[in-house]
A = this chain, B = another copy of it.
Amino acid sequence: MAKIRNTTRQKTKTIAERRNDPTKRGGGASARAAHDDQQVTALKLKPAPLSPAMADLFKLCEQKLGFVPNVFKAFAFDMSKLEGFVGYRNAVMQGESGLSKVEQEMIATAVSTQNRCYYCVTSHGASVRGLSGDPILGEQIVMNYRAADLDQRQRAMLDFAVKLTVEPWTVEESDREGLRRAGFSDRDIWDIAAIAGFFNMTNRIASAIDMRPNSQYHAMGR
C-alpha cells in the first residue's frame, strides 16, 4: 500500500525563527493563519510515512473537518507515537460515558484555559461551540467557566477538573463525595479525572513545542 506523506514540514523556518526575522513579519490575518497552518510546531522533526491506519484517520479528518488537526501532524514523525496517542485519546474521549460529548469538551476547554494553552483552548473551545450550538457558552468556558450559567452538575464537574489541574495534591475523598452528590457515578468520576488528566498532558506538550492550532478552528461554531 502506498505511503502518504503528511505536509507538516514544507516550510523550512519555524515560527520561532520567523519571530527573529523582521523581513517576514506582518501581513496580518492571512499571514498569521498561514503560518499556524504550515508551521505546526517549533521542532524540526521529519514526518514519517503514515501507516495505513493513520492514513485512514487523516483521510477521515479531511472528510469530516476539512483538515487534519495539527496535533496529529505533530506526532506524525513517529508512527508508534502517533498511534499510541490516538489510541489512548480514543479510549479517554470516545468510549461510552455518563458525560455528554459537550461536557467532555467543557472539561477539555476549562483545563486548557487554566493552563493558557493556545492550541487546546482554540480547538476545544471550537468543539464546545459546535457541540452546544451556543457560541456564548464556548466563550464563557474559554474566559472563565464561573461566568457561565451552568447547572450544579456541570459546575461541580468543572470545579473538580480545575482543582485537579491547579493543585492536584489537595484532592481528597470530600471532593469525590461532592461529585457523587452532584449525581456522578464512580465511573463518571473516572472519566472526569481521565479527561482532565489527558488535557493537562496535551496542554504541556503543546506549550513545550509551540504547537499551532489549524486556523479553521477560530471560525467554527460562531
A residues sitting closer than 8 Å to B (CB atoms) are 15-16, 18-19, 22, 25, 28-29, 32-33, 35-36, 42-45, 77-78, 80-81, 83-85, 87-92, 95, 113, 115-118, 121-122, 132-137, 139-140, 142-144, 146-147, 149, 151, 160, 164-165, 168-173, 176, 186-187, 189-190, 192-194, 196-198, 200-205, 207-210, 215, 218-219, 222
Chain B residue numbers with a CB within 8 Å of A171 are 207-208
Chain B residue numbers with a CB within 8 Å of A200 are 197, 200-201, 204
Known: A81-B95, A197-B202, A197-B203. 19 other contacts (CB 8 A): A29-B133, A29-B134, A29-B135, A42-B173, A45-B187, A45-B190, A80-B95, A81-B91, A83-B87, A116-B168, A117-B143, A121-B143, A139-B218, A142-B142, A168-B204, A189-B208, A193-B204, A197-B208, A222-B222
Cβ of A87 to closest chain B Cβ, rounded Å: 5
**Contact A122:B149 (CB < 8 A) given known A43-B186, A168-B117, A186-B45:** no
Please state the number of chain copies in the assembly.
6
Q: State the CA gap A208–B25 with chains docked (Å).
A: 30
> Of B95, B135, B192, which is within 8 A of A218 by CB?
B135
**Contact A136:B32 (CB < 8 A) given known A144-B117, A204-B164:** yes
**Contact A219:B222 (CB < 8 A) given known A87-B84, A143-B142, A208-B192:** yes
Chain A interface, >50% SS class: helix
Query: Is A33 within 8 A of B136, CB to CB?
Result: yes
- A198's nearest neighbour on chain B, judged by CB, is B201
Query: Is B134 within 8 A of A146, CB to CB?
Result: no
Residue from A36, A44, A116 having most chain B Cβ neighbours under 10 A: A116
